[in-house]
Chain A
Amino acid sequence: MVKVYSITQCPWCDKVKKYLKSKNVAFEEHNIEENEADREACYKLTGDLVVPITTVNDKDYVLSFDKEKLDAMLGL
């Protein structure tokens, strides 16, 4: 399952979510502002707390709304 780490009021997170929806990519949203376990997981994955982070396998991830990199990772 594709995961998107986000925070509240983050225009770039909204863009990623909209883009994934437009491509019919199913994803789970994990708000790292509201959930401590998600925050720890995001920090463990990326060594930082910036969002949006999109990951397919909890190993490879794309930071920010970067269409090219998202397409490559998701095979779009």
Chain B
Amino acid sequence: MGIYDFTVKTSKGEEKSLSDYKGKVLLIVNTASKCGFTPQFKELQDLYMKYKDKGLEILGFPCNQFAEQDPGTNEEVQQFCRLNYGVTFQIFEKGDVRDETAQPLFKYLVSQKGFEGFDANHPITEKLVAALKENFPHFLEGDDIKWNFTKFLIDREGNVVARFEPTTVPSAIAADIEKLL
């Protein structure tokens, strides 16, 4: 079983085989809603604009298992929405990414790259861990997705080469992407 054996649904409900992305470098991300406080969308968009012509595709999977928030920012209020689906980088149908109900693709991804801890230097790490302990203590156990904006990097041959936690911002993985392009 490899990454290209999975079929997912687009935001319009159409089936899409990941084999359509053979030969591309992929960044697969579980995303939050478009009107939440979600600064990582901007950086993902920037990465996509920068590398799409060199063969990068970003695949976003919206999920509401994490209260539709960027980590640790519950108190933030914002009054705008972000264009985040269908047209710039590909956004798929909303679905679960962790626990028993997780989409098969995400069960596969976490089996290939398990959880190795958050980036201790990121300013929200402490808040995120505290919020998880309080609200979703079992999220901290095992290899399942911990929060919005967990990122999996796939090389041109379909190997899952890296996993970045929500505490690694997209701009910080540009060098890893460049190596694969």
Which A residues form the contact surface with B (CB < 8 A)? 7, 9-13, 32-33, 36, 39, 43, 48-52, 63-66
Contacts and interface: CB of A to CB of B under 8 A. Distances in A.
Contact of A13 (B42, B81, B87): B81
Interface in B82-108: 82-84, 86-88
**Size bracket, chain B contacts:** 10 to 19
A64 B87 contact: no
Interface in B25-69: 34-35, 42, 45, 49
Contacts of B78: 64
Given A48-B45, A49-B45, A49-B88, A12 B83 contact: no
A10 B81 contact: yes
Q: Main SS of the interface on chain B?
A: loop
Given A10-B35, A10-B80, A65-B79, 20 more contacts: A7-B81, A9-B81, A10-B81, A11-B35, A12-B35, A12-B80, A13-B81, A33-B86, A33-B87, A36-B87, A39-B83, A39-B88, A49-B82, A49-B83, A49-B84, A49-B88, A51-B81, A51-B83, A64-B79, A66-B79
Interface of B: 34-35, 42, 45, 49, 78-84, 86-88
A66 B83 CA distance: 19
A48 B81 CA distance: 11
For the complex of A and B, 5 pairs with smallest distance between CB atoms: A64-B79, A49-B83, A10-B81, A64-B80, A50-B80
B81 A12 contact: yes
B83 A7 contact: yes
